[in-house]
Structure 1
């Protein structure tokens, strides 16, 4: 068994023992993974091993040199001795990790959630692929398809071939001349011989040899006829007739292909009301979405925007941990998103996803007057808002409801409610299934 077999077996065992994907998204440690590599824990199982029998290592009743005699007290039992069951341990088991790339993660999530999102290609590009496969009648000498030229010439030679010795023998039949032999060859034998060739061959035969055979039957009885295949095996091919009309030149196939570019804008409320549980729910929802879309598209880029009453762009490493004490104005994030998208990710060339999350608390009238018009202005495959309210809706947590009521069943707007980790995969399904039903091309 080679190294590749070992690796395949390792992945097979890893797939069997790794944490369930849905369980991993809801409760697993997402921090062990990177954006381009998903690491799912595998529980390590201790292998059996030999242990010495304590009864063979000396002890009570062994006799001499100060060791206890039968009946002597042997002291208090050591901790852990006896037959009582111990208390359950609090230490977690050791783990290794099953590593998958975003493409494999997307396939697994599709299967687990019953999705099959077909990524959309926006930018049409020309690409030269593979070997020179297309054929044209003109081109540089270096691209001449000689193999094709030879085959065409060989086919022509085979089509024009006939047993010349056999036809010459017919010219030696008494009373037959070129006209009679030509008629016999073309009509009776279906041989591709020309009248000129027959006349030239007749001229080359001495006059005394033109009456060798008294009849066709005598000639056929004395002359062995060979077919084309037999002659080629015996004599080979001495000449192949090439013609300019058979020349073909190879050139690379130029194909139009849609390049599947995607930019994902992740927006998160970092105001004072966004406490730890809410932040964790945002991370558990957004991180798998990042993996999923990166696995579905050829070229994926991400923009992370944090906001309280104002918005600013941050790195992914800081996105989920930021917390401020300010108020909330969600529209500030959409204003920044619109600016970034129009400057660097034009709708004509990029698939665009705008995902926002928070506890639905927003400044007065900001959702109706500002956020909704901005969402309508930003062209995107999908807008999504994820409400995270672990303790239920607060009185002023109305943003998600307002967005949902305004857009209704719009194909490119999704609203998901996540109140606990168990809701995360359902929220992801709500978002992705909305985009999956989109008819945009």
Structure 2
């Protein structure tokens, strides 16, 4: 292998060794990416190069303007490059690997063992599928002949019977038309009294004597013991079927199946504590958890909208740029954020939108606000998933109880996730804890809006 091929091979290897996704999320620069383009740094490997031996300095032909100097790399391909003084054309983006949110979602699934299947909510179109539905009316050209025949034949078989067997009932001693009709019905034979009356009026014994003058059987039991009733299906197999009497009620007309196309759409409301206790380190941990989840859900859903709420003792909506950096000097009342979340989600009906509410903070909250106001609000707001991320570096504060109280209140409820992040290395575990919580099927919800349980049983791989 020549130097040129070897150099190309090393460059190819270097460019494919981008930074590990989990490492990038936990420690990388997330600010270089945006909602539609995620830039992952590449781990560049050193390329081989020859250098002039510094020990060979001096001597004839050494030095001078334009001449190679000791330690200077040797160009393996002289003349293959920019002319002296010309600017280079190679860009600087080769140090990053770029992916769109769809690729990011696939790779995060693989890296963390996630398997979120988005659900279609909002109907965006109705299209006609195959002619698989039927109705009692329709154009004559759409008559389902097979169904028409099957219904007629089924009705015919249900009303047909062994006529010779019923006629034998007329030869029972002392039996009249009513007696024969009652006996036939007890046998499950679908014969009418009028048919038996007609048969009695016309039946003869073969010698011109009316049936009424004959006593061939002592009783119906004696008749049943001597004469077997032939099933209709056996007679049809033997004699065939000349015709099937169809009725208008047997008609069925084919219609195309109406298929609803549903858009897999989602709204994510991100909530962050902006009170004075949320210092830079805590805010950075919030960003490292929320930003990859935004990218992930953007890649998973056909349409994704994001709203951002910050709060201290009051709550207000901000844009994404302000969300991670803003800080106030006020106290903390988390319920104020959920009051605003409830208002925002009125714009996104749960029957038409997948809804996620992700909140984060250092678990510090005023008095009994969590138990008296936040938890009831979480119960009443319908969402695919509620999540709270505690960002509390070190051992945390003594009054940081919010995450514990939420976790205790919703224990066993798979519509709520609680994660704790004390350092960057905890970030991917928190993301997994949140995104793996939602069940494959939302399932029925209780009157207070809480999901009744998950069905995926997903276990981290």
TM-score (norm 2): 0.57
Q: Does 1:392 align with 2:391?
A: no
Larger displacement relative to structure 2 (381-390 or 364-373): 364-373
SS of 2:50's partner is coil
Q: 1:417 to 1:13 in 2, by over 3 A?
A: same
Q: Does 1:269 align with 2:273?
A: yes
Please give the alpha-carbon distance, in whole angstroms, between the structure 2 residues aligned to 1:253 and 1:14: 54
In structure 2, the residue matched to 1:58 is 58
Q: Deviations over 1:110-150 (max 9, x none)?
A: 11111211111112332559xx9989x99xxxxxxxxxxxx
Please give the alpha-carbon distance, in whole angstroms, between the structure 2 residues aligned to 1:293 and 1:279: 21
For 1:139-154, what aligned pairs fall within 5 Å after superposition? Answer: none
**Structure 1 runs not aligned, ≥5 long:** 1-8, 63-93, 139-250
For 1:35-434, what aligned pairs fall within 5 Å after superposition? Answer: 35-58=35-58, 96-127=95-126, 255-342=259-346, 344-434=347-437
Q: 1:419 to 1:365 in 2, by over 3 A?
A: same
SS of 1:43's partner is coil
Shift of 1:49: 2.9
Please give the alpha-carbon distance, in whole angstroms, between the structure 2 residues aligned to 1:11 and 1:383: 45
Q: 1:37 to 1:11 in 2, by over 3 A?
A: farther
Please give the alpha-carbon distance, in whole angstroms, between the structure 2 residues aligned to 1:117 and 1:123: 18
Q: 1:104 to 1:275 in 2, by over 3 A?
A: same
Number of corresponding residues:
290
In structure 2, the residue matched to 1:21 is 21
Please give the alpha-carbon distance, in whole angstroms, between the structure 2 residues aligned to 1:14 and 1:340: 47
The answer as to whether partners of 2:131 and 2:256 remain within 8 angstroms in 1 is yes
The answer as to whether partners of 1:126 and 1:254 remain within 8 angstroms in 2 is no
The answer as to whether partners of 2:360 and 2:389 remain within 8 angstroms in 1 is yes
SS of 2:386's partner is strand
Please give the alpha-carbon distance, in whole angstroms, between the structure 2 residues aligned to 1:100 and 1:12: 18
Shift of 1:43: 2.1
The answer as to whether partners of 2:267 and 2:354 remain within 8 angstroms in 1 is yes
Shift of 1:95: 7.3
Q: CA RMSD in A?
A: 3.3
Please give the alpha-carbon distance, in whole angstroms, between the structure 2 residues aligned to 1:13 and 1:133: 51
The answer as to whether partners of 1:11 and 1:98 remain within 8 angstroms in 2 is no
Please give the alpha-carbon distance, in whole angstroms, between the structure 2 residues aligned to 1:405 and 1:437: 24
Q: Deviations over 1:53-73 (max 9, x none)?
A: 3344417x99xxxxxxxxxxx
TM-score (norm 1): 0.60
Q: 1:47 to 1:433 in 2, by over 3 A?
A: same
In structure 1, the residue matched to 2:33 is 33
The answer as to whether partners of 1:44 and 1:95 remain within 8 angstroms in 2 is no
Please give the alpha-carbon distance, in whole angstroms, between the structure 2 residues aligned to 1:386 and 1:108: 23
The answer as to whether partners of 1:381 and 1:440 remain within 8 angstroms in 2 is no
The answer as to whether partners of 1:270 and 1:308 remain within 8 angstroms in 2 is yes
The answer as to whether partners of 1:272 and 1:324 remain within 8 angstroms in 2 is yes
Shift of 1:401: 0.6
SS of 1:111's partner is helix
Please give the alpha-carbon distance, in whole angstroms, between the structure 2 residues aligned to 1:10 and 1:276: 40
Please give the alpha-carbon distance, in whole angstroms, between the structure 2 residues aligned to 1:384 and 1:96: 35
The answer as to whether partners of 2:384 and 2:442 remain within 8 angstroms in 1 is no
Shift of 1:411: 1.3
Please give the alpha-carbon distance, in whole angstroms, between the structure 2 residues aligned to 1:51 and 1:124: 67
In structure 2, the residue matched to 1:195 is none
The answer as to whether partners of 1:309 and 1:332 remain within 8 angstroms in 2 is yes
Please give the alpha-carbon distance, in whole angstroms, between the structure 1 residues aligned to 2:299 and 2:58: 63
Shift of 1:380: 0.2
Q: 1:346 to 1:13 in 2, by over 3 A?
A: farther
SS of 1:327's partner is coil
The answer as to whether partners of 1:43 and 1:95 remain within 8 angstroms in 2 is no
SS of 1:45's partner is coil
In structure 2, the residue matched to 1:228 is none
The answer as to whether partners of 2:127 and 2:260 remain within 8 angstroms in 1 is no
Please give the alpha-carbon distance, in whole angstroms, between the structure 2 residues aligned to 1:340 and 1:284: 24
Q: 1:53 to 1:13 in 2, by over 3 A?
A: closer
Q: 1:47 to 1:356 in 2, by over 3 A?
A: same
The answer as to whether partners of 2:10 and 2:47 remain within 8 angstroms in 1 is no
Shift of 1:102: 1.1
Shift of 1:340: 0.8
SS of 2:42's partner is strand
In structure 1, the residue matched to 2:219 is none
